[in-house]
Structure 1
Amino acid sequence: MNYSVGSIADLISGKNTPNKPKFVEKVIIQPNDQSKKSQSDVEYEDYSNKNRINSKSSNIKGRKEVAKNRNKLTTYEESKNGPVSIQRSPEKGTFPKHKQIDKPLKKERDEEQENKTIFVGNVPVGANKLKLKKLFGKFGNIECIRLRCAAPDDPNVSKKLAVIKKRFHPDRKSLHCFIRFQNREEACKALEMNGFEYKSHHLRINMAQNEEKPDENKALFIGNIPFDAEEEDLWTIFETVGAISSVRLVRDSKTSMGKGFGYVNFQSSDSVELALERNDFQLKNRLLRICRCSNSAGKKSKNKRGRKNQSNF
Structure 2
Amino acid sequence: MLPPTGKKHRTPPHPKKTTTCGYIGSPRATSQAPGPAPNHPHYGVPRATQTPQAQAGLPPWGARQHPDTMAQGQHHHPCQSGPATWLRASGHHPRPQAPGPRPHSESAENLGVMIDDQLTFKDHVTSVARSCRFALLNIRKIRPYLTQHATQLLVQAMVISRLDYCNALLTGLPACAGKPLQMIQNAAARLFFDQPKRAHVTPLFIELHWLPLAARIKFKSLMLAYKVLNGTALIYLNALAKAYVTTRSLRSSQDCRLAAPTPRLRQSKLFSCVIPRWWNDLLSATRTGASLSIFKKLLKTQLFREHLLS
TM over 0.5: no
Q: Rg: which structure is higher? A: 1
Q: When you count strand as a share of all residues, which structure comes out higher?
A: 1
TM-score, normalised on structure 2? Answer: 0.24
Q: Which fold has the larger relative contact order, with Cα–Cα distance below 8 Å and residues 6 or more apart in sequence?
A: 1
